[in-house]
Structure 1
């Protein structure tokens, strides 16, 4: 469970937590997800247009189509889209959910074992 989701879950359980704040947090999360989907849709349409336009323009042959310049925008914009995806969905992509807490518990258990041995 990611930090954001854990905080949201804990806040849902807190009886003193304001329902408006829960709504606000959920609304911001939905807006971020919607923003990513709009970004992905624009990416697909714009890059499809660029690639199709370049393919139709290259009357000389297919070797003109497969040049670096044809896919330059799609590649670098794709890197930006991947970064956007990670910021929206992949917050715990590298360390997993609750990694910090598990690691702290692991170190504490190791310290207990060393003290009694």
Structure 2
């Protein structure tokens, strides 16, 4: 009975991790879509209203850097914020919390 419950727990944990990953990917594609559509609009507005003073490349550049970093994080290309980093940080915070509780008991 215990083995079955443990297997169910592991499968549920895998499901929740996969669901979170899909939500992160979906969030990235939403960010990318917004980036493309808004920047097309900004280029049009800039070229229509003041073609001799170009400013559209600033939001294109800075938001673009953010989109690239977001994508690198979501697709685990950015190792400093990957799954291993998250797990290490969670363990570190849990240990600090445990140490604080033990200190005051």
Q: Larger radius of gyration, structure 1 or 2?
A: 1
What RMSD, in angstroms, separates the aligned Cα atoms of the two structures? 2.4
Counterpart of 2:62 in structure 1 is: 76
TM-score, structure 2 normalization:
0.61
Give the helix-richer structure, 1 or 2: 2
Q: How does 1:1-117 map to 2 (within 5 A)?
A: 18-58=10-50, 62=51, 64=52, 67=54, 69-91=55-77
- Asked if the contact 2:39–2:56 (Cα under 8 Å) also holds between the matched residues in 1, the reply is no
Q: RCO greater where, 1 or 2, for CA within 8 Å and sep 6 or more?
A: 1
- TM-score scaled to structure 1, two decimals? 0.55
Contact 2:28 2:70 in 1 (8 A): yes
Give the aligned length.
75
